[in-house]
Structure 1
Amino acid sequence: MTDSLSRAERARLPLARDVAELVAEENGVCVRSIAMRVLDTQTGVSRVVEIPCGATLESVCKPCARRNRQLRMAQCREGWHLESEPVAEPDPPSEHQKWLVEWRAYAQEQRDRAEREGIAEGGDAAFWDATIADVDAEIFASGVRGNVLDGAGSGERRTRSTRRRQDTPDLPRRTMSDTTLGRTFTTPDGKTFRPSMFITLTLPSYGRVRDGVPVDPATYDYRRAARDALHFSKLVDRFVQNLRRVAGFDVQYFATVEPQKRLAPHVHMAVRGTLPRADVRAVVAATYHQVWWPAADQVVYEGDHLPVWVARPERADGGAYADGQDGDYVDPVSGEVLPTWADALDELDGDQDAEPLHVLRFGTQVDVKGVLAGSRDADQCIRYLAKYLTKSLGGQIGPDEVARRAHAARLVEALRWEPCCPECPNWLRYGVQPKDATPGMVPGRCRRKAHKPEHLGYSGRRVLVSRRWSNKTLGEHKRDRRAWVLDMLGIADEQTASEPGRFEWSPIPDGDPGLGSRAMRTLREVARVQQRRRLLREMQARAGDESPPGGG
């Protein structure tokens, strides 16, 4: 039939490969899966398993991104309106875990002794450093949380005065109670309700906008917009701290960060428990975050006039310098060494009249909404929280929105020269060596995601979840839903039913002769998914349409 078609008609025919990929996406099958060989060490039987890539953005993999969105919605729903505390006592440590910590203590003592006595010019110290790193990895793999050294690796922490700014109102400090549950309210007819909140917070104005685009780009404060985006996550953290102090209990939240139409980040937050709206607005007005970094408003080096890297001479004892650098950046003309990051902070600490580089505050637009468990509003809020999780911050601009694309380009250009972190090469532009400086750094060429167009300056996590939201990690929520599906299908979960270490997993490289083409593997997965879904629908019908954990 296609032989009789003209060339133009044939060009309009869909490609079979594209149709296959579309069918896979519609059936929730990952099109970028990773082939793994699973060996049962007891029976010696091996099989090939396709592991989804786990992408969170539709631009990378639509099925995985949508699956992740559903998982986040289940996590939000399960922890929002709890009636009892989500607290579980930790399991007692095993003998193996205690032995590892004891061995770690011994290794640390030996390492300190080697450094103190200079044994073999630091050779033994290097050996014990490697040993400690291996033991730390074993401790983590043994199934414990956190680090044996609280805050290890963060170095000396600098502290500043906690005195509040005089241009910000004070907040009351209420006695904290050890609970994560909000107040209950009883109606005249005896019904009890425990409402929660849905809060939306935005940043202030940087200039008049119309349809998401500055009316006058020349007067729009792009520098302030860029700095607010870079440090937005810190402002959200400070808001939660203040909210807990005013509420008097350990407020728990599930929040997502999205861009407004003007491309400034804002946060939607599901909060367990409720406060008067006036209290929430007072907390917003009193919340700020100060960025205590060296000055970055006056350009010192640019163009061809950039600092030059000069290697440091080797130390007589053969050891490393205290700051870990092998060299310094110097002025290209005078040869004067630029102040290191630590030097710049010392100078800032010593100046009693110093001002922070930047101060962040929320805007005046604050939306607070009361929400009841199981209501239509609750479902709508959960969907709204997850609405844009599958899209990047900068990927929500339509292809025909020329003015907004130009606005985004100007914001990205402002971000290009802003320091995003202490290690950012942009500090050289302002006459300061970045923390842990290395050769080859060039201002304006930082590769961290804050400078990339798809992130618009925000480099933090898109989903912010408090520790006691549901007392489960995202992985545990995922396993709950997996266990529900397997139980409905009557399939034993080999990952939990068998003893640890029974199955060995190894990746299969592309091109392996026994693997088959990706197209064939994808089609097989489509067939398996369809079969499982038919069986699952039948089992749900028999069980009375039972829903998975977290709904959905």
Structure 2
Amino acid sequence: MRLAQPLAREVVDQLAISFGVCIRPVPMYRLDTLTGQTTRLDIPCGATLSNKCPPCAERNRKLRMAQCREGWHLEDEPIIPPNEPTDEQRWLIEHRADWQAKRDVAAAAGENLAEYDEILAGIDADIRRSGLRGSVLGRSSTSRQRSTRRRQDAPDLPKRKRLPGTLGRVYEAADGKRFRPSMFITLTLPSYGRVMDGAPVDPDSYDYTRAARDAIHFSKLVDRFVQNLRRVAGWDVQYFATVEPQKRLAPHLHLAMRGTLSRKEIKQIAAATYHQVWWPSTDRVVFDGDELPVWDDSVGYLDPRTGEVLPTWDEALDAIGDDDEPLHVLRFGEQVKPIGVLAGTERADHLIRHYLTKYLTKSIAETCEPDNERQREHAERMTAALRYEPCSPTCPNWLRYGVQPKNARAGQAPGRCQGKAHKAEHLGYAGRRVLVSRKWSNKTLTDHRADRRAWVLEALGLSATEDQDPNRYTWRPVPPGDSSLPPLGERLLAEIANRQHWRALMQRLQAQADGTDLSATGEEVAA
């Protein structure tokens, strides 16, 4: 039948994917300020998920593989010199100093400092956005502090003498050979109820509230684990980690660590790691259904029954006493799996390919799609548990529990938060999928991308260093409806032809390097 025949446009997409061509390119005009020439170029979309653009997602996955591999077993200490501050950063600091002086004068005169504090807070936010790290004052700007005493129900951390550097310890075998092993660690969350084939045996007793909160705050628990890991190890531990869901839909962590500790110590650190969420209580639902808080431009949200102003976020936090318990305490489960890994081994490559980067082209939910009705119902119950669970201080769900969210604004309502944590494809986890320490490979992703480009250009006999002046080109997007922009199918075909040419040239150069006669195999490419 004619309808059974494939569409030509779909075949173009399939062919583009097979050649690694982005199927959602962004058309841009590039102006060469040296020659005055304007060129239209298709820039890859850079998607990280294959359901959006498989070639870009796979390219990013391979980039992460290279990043993980290069940093896992470094032999030389990475050195990251600080960048010189930009003119904008210098101006922001001067601007901050000027307003700080004005505030000090106002304070001495007994004036109201609210306006000055608001302006300084805005300048501090601009300073952080400019790329400067740390606080201008050298201390945290918040005045609210919680006790740093360890919980009595958490074991103490082991201690070890501190060593300089990030590489870990060197070991020497009986034959005098020296080696520096590393580790691969898998961490999971605790049980919320007995599961079978990825779904609860008894859904009514399964603790969905705890599962939802653990997923939302999982990244904080990982941060605390790394802090404890460095404290116990004694050196500045560097890591490459990815977050994936288990079949039961709970997130878990795969972490490549440079250097090694004993398996006993790793398990002790995991057992001693916890994170406390000091948020207002959500035990009592104050507003539900059609009876919701109403907005007043002058004071924020009001109780529609009494007309009273709801507590602000800061007021709700101030109401939490020192003797109160946190809203939630996160801990890892008992399943902690540390493995020793040596550089250049098949195990190291296997762990990178099949654990650390295998699922990076899929969303959290796509990696554990339900196979049966029980699993589908479990996913729906998990999504329902996340709907009204606050995901951040600014989450509108706080109105459900009688608290104004931070930076409240008109039009907010419980159950309508647009945060990633509430979306079914994220299963509560809204953090980054890949977690990499600053000194892992001594390179940024941009550096790794430049390395790959330079390798290809060198293989093709082209220069990787010419036209490197960052100020030579200016870019602007092609406006919608531009008559000079060919249809997407035509642009994809042109890029496919380019890829065919470069691939054939690469094969020819490789064959020449190997001493293979391409003409004998019919693979010779005309110049």
**How many Å separate the matches in 2 of 1:359 and 1:544?**
60
Q: Deviations over 1:472-528 (max 9, x none)?
A: 11111111111211222223347x634331111111124322121100000111111
Task: Give the CA RMSD over aligned residues.
Answer: 2.8
SS of aligned partner of 2:476: strand
AA of the residue aligned to 1:379: D
Of residues 359, 363, 367 in structure 2, which corresponds to 1:392? 363
Of residues 464, 467, 486 in structure 2, which corresponds to 1:497? 467
Q: Deviations over 1:242-280 (max 9, x none)?
A: 111111111111000000000000000111111110000
Of residues 312, 319, 332 in structure 2, which corresponds to 1:347? 319
**How many Å separate the matches in 2 of 1:435 and 1:134?**
16
AA of the residue aligned to 1:22: Q
Matched, 1:404 2:375: yes
Match of 1:88 in 2: 80
**How many Å separate the matches in 2 of 1:359 and 1:135?**
33
Matched, 1:311 2:282: no
Match of 1:517 in 2: 487
Please report the TM-score for the alignment, with normalisation by the length of structure 2: 0.90
Matched, 1:428 2:414: no
Match of 2:521 in 1: none
Instruction: Answer whether contact 2:124 2:136 (CA < 8 A) is retained.
Output: no
Q: From the superposition, tell whether residues 171 and 335 of structure 1 become closer, same or farther in structure 2 (CA, over 3 Å).
A: same
Instruction: Answer whether contact 1:301 1:430 (CA < 8 A) is retained.
Output: yes
SS of aligned partner of 1:506: strand
SS of aligned partner of 1:359: strand
Q: From the superposition, tell whether residues 130 and 240 of structure 1 become closer, same or farther in structure 2 (CA, over 3 Å).
A: closer
Q: Deviations over 1:208-259 (max 9, x none)?
A: 1110011111111100000000000011111111111111111111000000
Instruction: Answer whether contact 1:300 1:431 (CA < 8 A) is retained.
Output: yes
AA of the residue aligned to 1:485: V
Matched, 1:64 2:36: no
1:148 Cα shift? 7.8
| Stretch moving more, 150-159 or 199-208 | 150-159
Matched, 1:39 2:39: no
SS of aligned partner of 2:319: helix
1:130 Cα shift? 13
Match of 2:261 in 1: 275
AA of the residue aligned to 2:5: L
Matched, 1:533 2:503: yes
Matched, 1:107 2:95: yes
SS of aligned partner of 1:290: strand
AA of the residue aligned to 2:300: D
After the TM superposition, which residues 144-223 of structure 1 pair with which residues of structure 2 at under 5 Å, given as runs? 145-147=131-133, 149-150=135-136, 155-156=141-142, 158-223=144-209
**How many Å separate the matches in 2 of 1:469 and 1:360?**
27
AA of the residue aligned to 1:228: D
**How many Å separate the matches in 2 of 1:211 and 1:152?**
51
Instruction: Answer whether contact 1:176 1:250 (CA < 8 A) is retained.
Output: no
Q: Deviations over 1:300-336 (max 9, x none)?
A: 1111221111121xxxxxxxxxxxxxx3211111111
SS of aligned partner of 1:484: helix
Q: From the superposition, tell whether residues 420 and 132 of structure 1 become closer, same or farther in structure 2 (CA, over 3 Å).
A: closer
Of residues 12, 20, 29 in structure 1, which corresponds to 2:12? 20
Q: From the superposition, tell whether residues 338 and 380 of structure 1 become closer, same or farther in structure 2 (CA, over 3 Å).
A: same
**How many Å separate the matches in 2 of 1:79 and 1:471?**
8
**How many Å separate the matches in 2 of 1:371 and 1:134?**
42
Instruction: Answer whether contact 1:397 1:404 (CA < 8 A) is retained.
Output: no
**How many Å separate the matches in 2 of 1:517 and 1:457?**
39
**How many Å separate the matches in 2 of 1:203 and 1:134?**
34
**How many Å separate the matches in 1 of 2:439 and 2:159?**
22
Q: From the superposition, tell whether residues 240 and 544 of structure 1 become closer, same or farther in structure 2 (CA, over 3 Å).
A: farther
1:539 Cα shift? 3.2
1:109 Cα shift? 4.2
Instruction: Answer whether contact 1:397 1:405 (CA < 8 A) is retained.
Output: no
Match of 1:74 in 2: 66
SS of aligned partner of 1:258: strand
| Stretch moving more, 183-192 or 453-462 | 183-192
Q: From the superposition, tell whether residues 12 and 198 of structure 1 become closer, same or farther in structure 2 (CA, over 3 Å).
A: same
Q: From the superposition, tell whether residues 453 and 40 of structure 1 become closer, same or farther in structure 2 (CA, over 3 Å).
A: same
Instruction: Answer whether contact 2:21 2:495 (CA < 8 A) is retained.
Output: yes
Instruction: Answer whether contact 2:80 2:439 (CA < 8 A) is retained.
Output: no
Matched, 1:372 2:342: yes
Of residues 298, 306, 329 in structure 1, which corresponds to 2:301? 329
Matched, 1:414 2:385: yes
Q: From the superposition, tell whether residues 367 and 526 of structure 1 become closer, same or farther in structure 2 (CA, over 3 Å).
A: same
Of residues 234, 238, 243 in structure 2, which corresponds to 1:252? 238
Instruction: Answer whether contact 2:195 2:248 (CA < 8 A) is retained.
Output: yes
SS of aligned partner of 1:497: coil
Matched, 1:293 2:279: yes
The unaligned stretches of length 5 or more in structure 1 are 1-8, 313-326, 546-552
Q: Deviations over 1:370-414 (max 9, x none)?
A: 111110000000012111111111123446533212111100100
AA of the residue aligned to 1:284: A
**How many Å separate the matches in 2 of 1:148 and 1:464?**
20
**How many Å separate the matches in 1 of 2:325 and 2:251?**
25
Instruction: Answer whether contact 1:252 1:469 (CA < 8 A) is retained.
Output: yes
Q: From the superposition, tell whether residues 200 and 441 of structure 1 become closer, same or farther in structure 2 (CA, over 3 Å).
A: same
Instruction: Answer whether contact 2:270 2:332 (CA < 8 A) is retained.
Output: yes
